[in-house]
Amino acid sequence: MWLLTAALAVHCTVDGLAIVVGDKLTQGLDVPVLLAVSVHKLPEGMALALFLMSAGRSPSTALLWTVLVESMTVIGGVVGSTLLTHGSSFWLALVFAHVGGGFLYLVVTTLGGFIRGQSRGNRPVVLGGGLAFTVTAVLLWTIHLHVR
């Protein structure tokens, strides 16, 4: 239970970083990233609260932990705005593309496991890693062409 909660806290921190990096790369408010992050916070928070309650936590404790975990988005934004905004656009794009590739990797490997009946061997992991690497490389190349 605590491992999943900690992983979600890291995810929320990356959400905050994504908002800041998106704003930096577009040199203004990146509305699509802000909306995407904002919209998924409600079901994400509800899922965490329900998970914590199903693990035996009281509703008030589950709500408190959910608020604490989801507030990591703000902390990620603060960290991003203080550390990342002083870097070059290329390095910010690199961080953004790496995070995007990591999310694609997770989606592909998870879906691969479900499609193949809960992963027989390492094939979905290898294919997912290869796809995520390829997409990340293409994103980096495209961003580098436009940031110059």
* Contact status, residue 44 vs residue 27, Cβ threshold 8 Å: no
* 136 pLDDT higher than 70: no
Are 89 and 146 spatial neighbours (Cβ–Cβ below 8 Å)? no
Give dist(CA 21, CA 83) in Å, integer. 11
Q: Token pair 């603060």 is at which residue?
A: 78
DSSP secondary structure code for residue 121 in this structure = S
Would you state the structure tokens that stand for residue 122, as one six-digit string? Answer: 């390492």
Ranked by mean pLDDT, which of 16-30, 67-81, 114-128 comes out on top? Answer: 67-81
Q: How far apart are CA 24 and CA 17, in angstroms?
A: 11
Question: Is the pLDDT confidence value at 114 over 70?
Answer: no
CA-based end-to-end distance of the chain: 45
For the chain, percent of residues with pLDDT exceeding 70: 61
Mean pLDDT of 37-57: 89
Of the listed ranges 16-20, 47-51, 115-119, the one predicted with least confidence: 115-119
pLDDT at 23: 81
